[in-house]
Amino acid sequence: MSSQNLFTALRAAFPSDLNAVAVETDEGLRYSWRDLDRATAMMANLLASLDLPQGSRIAVQVEKSVEAMMLYLATLRAGYVFLPLNTAYQRAEIEYFIGNAEPAVVVCSPANFGWVSKIAFKAGTQHVFTLGDDRTGSLLERAAHHSDQHKTVSKKADDLAAILYTSGTTGRSKGAMLTHGNMLSNAEMLKDYWGWKRGDVLIHALPIFHVHGLFVAIHGALINGSKMIWMAKFDPKRVIARMPEATVFMGVPTLYVRMLAEPGLTREAVRKMRLFIAGSAPLLLETFNEWQQRTGHTILERYGMSETVMLTSNPYSADKRFGQQTERRGGTVGFPLPGVSLRVRGDDGKDLPVGDIGNIQVKGPNVFQAYWRMPEKTADEFTADGFFKTGDVGKIDERGYVTIVGRSKDLIISGGYNVYPAEIEGYINEMAGVVESALVGVPHPDFGEVGVAVVIGKPGASLKPEAIVADLKSKLANFKIPKRCFVVPELPRNTMGKVQKNLLRDQYKALFVA
């Protein structure tokens, strides 16, 4: 059987003119398809020269750059397992991921080499390289000594390609193990489903350590041989300024909200655009409608997860389905994608009638293999007949549209990043003078939802909200920091003694919105 290495499929889609521009950065740097091919070969040869065991993890925490994307592609090419880490993660977070994944290679920003390498070497990592966002660092220096020819390592569909850490409602983060087959099947299907065309150009403005920016956006462009306009950071003005040269944009809802605040977002500015895709968090109907009125474009909302890549999508075109025309419907995440089985079940595990709200479960070639070294957690999250329990709560209407109405998992999604209350509460509860805490998500006009911490202090302790927040800031990634903190005498509880987070959410729901 031919190799199922995802890189082989991406490479096969490179246009025949390798001198054409594959990636253009917002600063005006241009990388040809030949550059992508050569640089990924050199990095793959460097990795191969390290004689790493099969299945070795390459953990990467670096600022966004084209070279960082190349490192991802080179890891696939060399047959190793890519492990991306949010650049906001601090010491304790990195210590956990490296300790748990035991990567053979760690690549970090030059500025972080001191502390990251210490953690890595302690965990048994043999090689720590640096990669700056300005084409500096030991990774590129070392790769420069290697050949620019490399034969892609053959892989089977169920061979591991990446591990994405995703937190749990209890306990520590779990590494979702994604295979070449998971990602290749999803990328090939989305190329058709979203109508990718010759000449499409993608504006890439998302971070590249999560499914959305790393897989959906990059695979989408590369498997279509499409150029990317590459932005290291999202800046609404810059994205709008480049739209006349582009056709496709992908973003979390916050990016759409921020662009709507720009007077430069006009019908003229988006004239050349073909498709706007949103996901990773709920897109408010208000944003969907405002975008339609302002630009004439209907945002296509889709739904996915680290464990599953893409699961559902609104239709690209108004094809017939169940004998009816379909359209992109705001407030829904569309239909299960081809090959994905999606069902809604009650808490008793039984299928629910059309329109009833319940737990969303999924199955398909896109669904991950297992959680890294956590067989019990993996078993808990799958049903006996092999469906993955997403933790999302929703319904399917008579036309087949899926709507997500909430989550059974205690999770806050803020600006497209996941914040697990249990983790933040754990840190607060360890602080001197704290009895207990609860973190709840409340509506926010920019981030969609943000965390608010509610803390009970010990009798006589003089807890200061600012001090609690400052302490958290010194330990945790910035997006996990509660936007407000309250010290209160008690938390609302039900008769079983469980904290009633719904009451807290209700109490604080108007903190940021009218």
Judged by beta carbon distances under 5 to 8 A according to partner kind, the member of ligand MLC, ligand AMP, none in contact with residue 234 is: ligand MLC
Q: Does 300 bind ligand MLC (CB under 6 A)?
A: no
Between residues 22 and 208, which has the closer beta carbon with respect to ligand MLC?
208
- Map residue 440 onto helix, strand or coil: strand
Q: Does 306 bind ligand AMP (CB under 6 A)?
A: yes
Q: Does 5 bind ligand AMP (CB under 6 A)?
A: no
Residue with tokens 């991950």: 368
Q: Does 313 bind ligand AMP (CB under 6 A)?
A: no
Q: Is 191 exposed, middle or buried (0-12, 13-18, 19+ CB in 10 A)?
A: middle
Structural contact between residues 338 and 189, judged by C-beta atoms closer than 8 angstroms: yes
Segment near ligand AMP (CB under 6 A), from 225-233, 259-267, 300-308, 439-447? 300-308
Between residues 156 and 464, which has the closer beta carbon with respect to ligand MLC?
464
- Map residue 155 onto helix, strand or coil: coil
Between residues 5 and 308, which has the closer beta carbon with respect to ligand AMP?
308
Rounded distance between C-alpha atoms, residue 437 and residue 451, angstroms: 12
Q: Does 281 bind ligand AMP (CB under 6 A)?
A: yes
Helix axes 33-49, 66-78, angle to 10 degrees: 60
Between residues 123 and 178, which has the closer beta carbon with respect to ligand AMP?
178
Rounded distance between C-alpha atoms, residue 344 and residue 358, angstroms: 5
Cβ burial 354-385 (10 Å sphere, 16+ → b, else e): eeeebbbbbbbbbbbbbbbebeeebeebeeee
Q: Who's near 153: CB < 8 A, 6+ residues apart?
A: 3, 5, 77, 78, 79
Q: Which two tokens stand for residue 332?
A: 């829904």
In Å, how far are 54, 247, 287 from 292, measured between CA atoms? 49, 16, 9
Between residues 132 and 213, which has the closer beta carbon with respect to ligand AMP?
213
Q: Who's near 328: CB < 8 A, 6+ residues apart?
A: 298, 299, 300, 301, 314, 315, 334
Q: Does 190 bind ligand MLC (CB under 6 A)?
A: no
Selection from 13, 40, 66 nearest residue 230 by Cα: 66
Between residues 94 and 206, which has the closer beta carbon with respect to ligand MLC?
206
Q: Does 447 bind ligand MLC (CB under 6 A)?
A: yes
User: Using the rule CB under 6 A, which residue among 257, 404, 463, 472 binds ligand AMP?
Assistant: 404
User: Using the rule CB under 6 A, which residue among 103, 132, 207, 334 binds ligand MLC?
Assistant: 207
Residue with tokens 């904290």: 499
Length of the chain measured in residues:
514
φ, ψ of residue 463 to 5 degrees: the values are -80, 135
For 54, how many CA atoms within 13 A lie in the half-sphere containing its CB?
5
Q: Who's near 203: CB < 8 A, 6+ residues apart?
A: 228, 229, 231, 239, 242, 243, 246, 248, 249
Size of the site for ligand AMP (CB under 6 A): 20
CB of 205 to ligand MLC, least distance (A): 8
φ, ψ of residue 38 to 5 degrees: the values are -70, -45
Between residues 11 and 212, which has the closer beta carbon with respect to ligand MLC?
212
State the residue number with the nearest CB to ligand MLC. Answer: 415
User: Using the rule CB under 6 A, which residue among 31, 33, 193, 234 binds ligand MLC?
Assistant: 234
Q: Does 392 bind ligand AMP (CB under 6 A)?
A: yes
Q: Does 72 bind ligand AMP (CB under 6 A)?
A: no
Structural contact between residues 96 and 128, judged by C-beta atoms closer than 8 angstroms: no
Site for ligand MLC in 455-514 (CB under 6 A): 478-479
CB of 25 to ligand AMP, least distance (A): 26
CB of 141 to ligand MLC, least distance (A): 29
User: Using the rule CB under 6 A, which residue among 65, 166, 359, 361 binds ligand AMP?
Assistant: 166
CB of 298 to ligand MLC, least distance (A): 19
At position 408, the amino acid (one-letter code) is: S
CB of 188 to ligand AMP, least distance (A): 20
In Å, how far are 62, 100, 164, 186, 214 from 118, measured between CA atoms? 16, 15, 22, 37, 27
Between residues 76 and 206, which has the closer beta carbon with respect to ligand MLC?
206
Between residues 33 and 335, which has the closer beta carbon with respect to ligand MLC?
335
User: Using the rule CB under 6 A, which residue among 57, 204, 212, 329 binds ligand MLC?
Assistant: 212
Q: Does 299 bind ligand AMP (CB under 6 A)?
A: no
Judged by beta carbon distances under 5 to 8 A according to partner kind, the member of ligand MLC, ligand AMP, none in contact with residue 173 is: none
User: Using the rule CB under 6 A, which residue among 417, 427, 452, 472 binds ligand MLC?
Assistant: 417
Between residues 34 and 475, which has the closer beta carbon with respect to ligand MLC?
475
Q: Does 364 bind ligand MLC (CB under 6 A)?
A: no
Which residues here bind ligand AMP, judged by CB under 6 A? 166, 210-211, 279-282, 301, 303-306, 333, 390-392, 404, 407, 413, 418
Which residues here bind ligand MLC, judged by CB under 6 A? 206-207, 210-213, 234, 252, 254, 279-280, 304-305, 414-417, 447, 450, 478-479
